[in-house]
Structure 1
Amino acid sequence: MKRPPIAQQSPYSNPLVLQRADPWIYKHTDGYYYFTGSVPEYDRIELRRSLTLNGLAEAEPVVCWRKHEIGKMSANIWAPEIHYVSGKWYIYFAAAWTSETQQGIFDHRMYVLENSSANPLEGAWEEKGQIVTDWESFSLDATSFVHEGVHYLVWAQNDPAIEGNSNLYIAPMSNPWTLGGKQVLLSKPEYPWERIGYKVNEGAAVVRHGGRIFISYSGSATDHNYCMGLLWADENSDLLDPASWSKAAEPVFVSDEEHGQYGPGHNCFTFAEDDKTDVLVYHARSYKEIDGDSLYDPNRHARAKTFVWDEHGMPVFGRPLPDTHSR
């Protein structure tokens, strides 16, 4: 695969937020960037906000929810995302379970929290329960978007009939915590770069440009092999028809030895402070070798870089940027 040129300078400090994997940033109409992500302990959900992206580094985190002691939502709290839908705030996250006699710490399901406060760092978060899908199995990384008045959910789930760990699905929603139709398979790990260590499609994020809807996602194990893929569809097509979607045969964002960046992925998209420039937010480590299980290595840091679009209307993410400081 041909290497992009050396990455451009970024206006953002990297790492942006230390030890926050699966970063999610939502820029609201109040001008604030709202940030959340997986904490290394996997035991709580935190939010912070800032009027600038760089300001998120020093913004005071607020714990808005903690895992249960036992039962559902009691283990491995992963990949929270904050969304604003119909005047209320929602957090999507994945959680596993424990009991007095058993542990299902990798048997995740997707759950939703709701907050009606103007500022989601204030007020109470109400548990709306599990997102019920077409079958009970490992599921995670829910994200949502609204298009042409339809609220959609995109997520990763294991289908017992398909070899591998997780595939990507889409479905309409009847409300922010309930699917309103059958789920549709969008992508499964089929290329070698999606199947290293584990057969994984996960961590979807949506961005729109030039009459298309793009879904980025991540594949392979969460070590240096982790990387990003891309799906896209015409915005006027039936988004619930798998034939509407195209899939890149090669990864679009990968580890970079020269820049000392490994396992970039589980991204989201936002806009720069000018509300025009596109920004890619992702996590990556600054070293390749990991002791033990990569999931428990705490140094997947949240990072940000601007990106552009080519003459064909496709995103050009370039290369992960080297660290700019050692906070």
Structure 2
Amino acid sequence: MDNKLKYNEPWILQRADPFVVRHTDGTYYFTASVPAYDGICLRKASSLAGLKTADEVEIWHKHESGPMSIHIWAPEMHYINGKWYIYFSGGDKDDIWKIRPYVLECQGQNPLEDEWKELGKMKRADRDEFSFEAFSLDATVFENLGKWYYVWAEKVGVGKQISNLYIAEMQRPDKLKTVQVLLTTPDYEWERGAFWVNEGPAVIKKKDKIFLTFSASDTGPSYCVGMLTTTKDADLLDPQSWTKSRYPVVKTCKEKNIYGPGHNSFTVDEDGNDIMVYHARTESKIIGDPLYNPNRHTQLMKINWSKDCSPVFSFD
């Protein structure tokens, strides 16, 4: 079976919001939203290419009722202080849009075989009265200068709901230390499709720079990727420390049959080359509700770097 890496074409079918992590021992893990939105599955392989045909294991299934009983979305797996954690979002069958962020902790070192413990809803800082009170999803975490940060999307507003990105420092893997800070809101036309959205954050670093990509607009062909930039020595909780790119860095390319690229993560191949993992559609017209159409496929893009150490995203 051909496991050679191919770029900017469907790689793992019908897997949206893909996340790939390479562990310290070189092992690769893959997770994503599954079309039924009913559980969290993992794949494991010794190579990035091997993830394509690796067996998929469901390590957690949704509840029958109450919180975490519907719309299980966008899992990410991170290794923090010697343990594996999965961050994901889920709704309630009695209130399907009551989407909130949750945390799982692996009780061993083998995330496909060892037990996962529910730590419950992500806990906000003691002085924070607002975080996770509304539609909240797409959390990612990253480390900088010994501190861990949590970035997530949350909707605000009355009438037209707007999805913003927020950041906070973490006290522990399931609790925030600081009050939320608004990182970015949909400022530009390309962030304002049928919905005004900033979501799906992901972080990549190069030398002294930190880049945070995010997805914007609705989940159809207008879905695209924007980017914020800062430096490792900046105050990451000061929104003025971040600069937002004026235009999307990745967007629909009709010539390549790539529609609505977004909700990416970052990894490296075995040679250390930076890779963006993202989902996209191959058709411009979507049958039915885009949210429930399963044809968002995981794809890979090799990232190049400019002389000033900024990422260069290209479908070529």
- Per-residue CA deviations over 1:146-169 (Å, capped at 9, x if unaligned) read 111111101101123796431011
Aligned residues: 306
Q: Distance in 2 between matches of 1:152 and 1:181?
A: 10
Partner of 1:108: 99
The AA in structure 2 aligned to 1:119 is: N
SS at match of 1:56: helix
Equivalent position amino acid for 2:43 in 1: R
Q: What code does the residue aligned with 1:312 have?
A: D
Q: Sequence identity of aligned pairs in percent?
A: 49
Structure 1: how far apart are the matches of 2:212 and 2:159? 21
Is contact 2:301-2:314 (8 Å) kept? no
Match of 2:287 in 1: 291
The secondary structure found in structure 1 opposite 2:255 is coil
Provide the residue aligned with 2:112 in structure 1: 121
Note if contact 1:109-1:130 (Cα within 8 Å) is conserved in structure 2: yes
- Rounded Cα–Cα distance in structure 1 between residues aligned with 2:27 and 2:70: 30
State which of 222, 226, 235 in structure 1 corresponds to 2:232: 235
Answer whether contact 1:81 1:93 (CA < 8 A) is retained.
Answer: yes
Q: Which residue of 1 aligns with 2:62?
A: 67
Q: Secondary structure at the match of 2:314?
A: coil
Inter-partner Cα distance in structure 1 for 2:197 and 2:189: 11
- Answer yes or no: is 1:309 the counterpart of 2:305: yes
RMSD: 1.4
Structure 2 Cα separation of the partners of residues 175 and 25 of structure 1:
22
**Deviations 1:210-236, CA, capped at 9 Å, x for gaps:** 311110000000000000000011110
Aligned-pair distance for 1:40?
0.1
Separation of aligned partners in 2, 1:108 and 1:298: 20
Q: 1:126 Cα deviation (Å)?
A: 0.3
Instruction: Output the amino acid matched with 2:105.
Output: E
Q: Say which of 173, 176, 181 aligns to 2:173.
A: 176
Take 2:213 and 2:206, find their aligned partners in 1: how far apart are those partners?
13
* Amino acid across the alignment from 1:270: T
Deviation of 1:312 after TM superposition, in Å, equals: 2.2
Describe the SS at the equivalent of 2:291: helix
Taking structure 1 as the reference length, the TM-score comes to 0.91
Amino acid in the other structure paired with 2:187? E
Residue in 2 that maps onto 1:6:
none
Counterpart secondary structure, 1:296: coil
TM-score in terms of structure 2 length: 0.94
Could you tell me which runs of 5 or more consecutive residues in structure 2 were left unpaired when the two chains were aligned: none
- Give the Cα separation in 2 of the matches to 1:246 and 1:160: 24
User: After TM superposition, which residue ranges in structure 1, 4 or more long, deviate above 4 angstroms?
Assistant: none
Q: Describe the SS at the equivalent of 2:284.
A: coil
Contact 2:145 2:232 (8 Å CA) reproduced: no
- 8 A Cα contact 1:87 1:116, kept in partner: no
**1:223 to 1:287, Cα distance in 2 relative to 1, 3 A:** same
Amino acid paired to 1:160: G
SS at match of 1:218: strand
Provide the C-alpha distance between the structure 1 equivalents of 2:24 and 2:147, rounded to a whole number of angstroms: 21
Change (3 A) 1:162 1:277: farther
Q: Distance in 2 between matches of 1:246 and 1:157?
A: 20
**2: distance between equivalents of 1:54 and 1:113?**
27
Within 5 Å, give how 1:219-258 maps onto structure 2.
Answer: 219-258=216-255
**Within 2, Cα distance between the matches of 1:41 and 1:71?**
18
* Larger mean Cα displacement after TM superposition, 154-163 or 106-115: 154-163
AA aligned to 2:145 is E
Contact 2:151–2:167 under 8 Å retained in 1? yes
Letter in 1 for 2:277: V
Correspondence list, 1:1-327, <5 A: 11-12=5-6, 14-98=9-93, 103-133=94-124, 134=128, 135=130, 136-160=133-157, 164-274=161-271, 276-319=272-315
**How far apart in 2 are the matches of 1:118 and 1:132?**
24
In structure 1, give the amino acid aligned to 2:185.
K
What CA distance in whole angstroms lies between the structure 2 residues aligned with 1:156 and 1:204?
8
State which drifts further: 219-228 or 303-312: 303-312
Q: CA 1:163/1:239 → structure 2, altered by over 3 Å: closer, same or farther?
A: farther
User: Unpaired runs of 5+ in structure 1?
Assistant: 1-9, 322-327
Output the CA distance in 2 between the equivalents of 1:64 and 1:160: 36
Distance across 2 between alignment mates of 1:161 and 1:110:
21
